[in-house]
Structure 1
Amino acid sequence: MSKVLFFEPDSSQFRVHLEGDYYAIVKFEVENGVYVITSTKVPEELRGKGYGKVMMEAVLPELEKMAVKVKPVCSYVVHYLERNPQWAHLKV
């Protein structure tokens, strides 16, 4: 399973390659230097197969490298961060 990450600041999203022609999308807005994660999208055919975790494992390290804080608005990200306290330092 490859995890190629595309950071697209002009379109305010990260794209994570999942498999074949499938990508996950993490959309965000930047407010006062904080990345407000507004939505995530995993293709319908791949939902429930662990690709949400793949998406987060690709995006969160990139945000950490960028030294930015994250405000999760998207319910998936809120729950993911609650279940994975190793990323608590990113939350506002």
Structure 2
Amino acid sequence: MSDVLYFEPDLSQFRVHLEGDYYAVVKFEIKSDVYVITSTKVPEELRGKGYGKVMMEAVLPELEKMGVKVKPVCSYVAHYLERNPQWAHLKA
């Protein structure tokens, strides 16, 4: 598993390299200093193998460094933040 992260502000997304040619994608909208996370996508072939966690462990530290808050519209992100209280300070 890899934590290589690509921030693509022009596409309003983060891409996280998972393995081989596979990437997870986190889409967002920016509203003030809040990143509204609208969707996440892990390739179908890799679902259920823990890559959602890999994706979040790559993206959340980057958002923390940027000093922004997160509003999870995406249910996966909302559940992840609920289960991982160490990221509670990022919630808008």
Mark yes or no: TM-score above 0.5. yes
| TM-score, structure 2 as length reference | 0.99
| Residue matched to 1:7 | 7
Q: Which runs of 5+ in 2 are unaligned?
A: none
Separation of aligned partners in 2, 1:47 and 1:2:
16
| Residue matched to 1:82 | 82
Return the offset for 1:2. Answer: 1.6
Does residue 22 of the first structure (1) align with residue 19 of the second (2)? Answer: no
Runs of 4+ in 1 over 3 A off after TM superposition: none
| TM-score, structure 1 as length reference | 0.99
2:10 partner letter: D
Separation of aligned partners in 2, 1:32 and 1:89:
17
| Residue matched to 2:65 | 65
Q: Percent identity, aligned pairs only?
A: 88
Q: Which runs of 5+ in 1 are unaligned?
A: none
Alignment of 1:30-45 (within 5 A): 30-45=30-45
Separation of aligned partners in 2, 1:32 and 1:64:
15
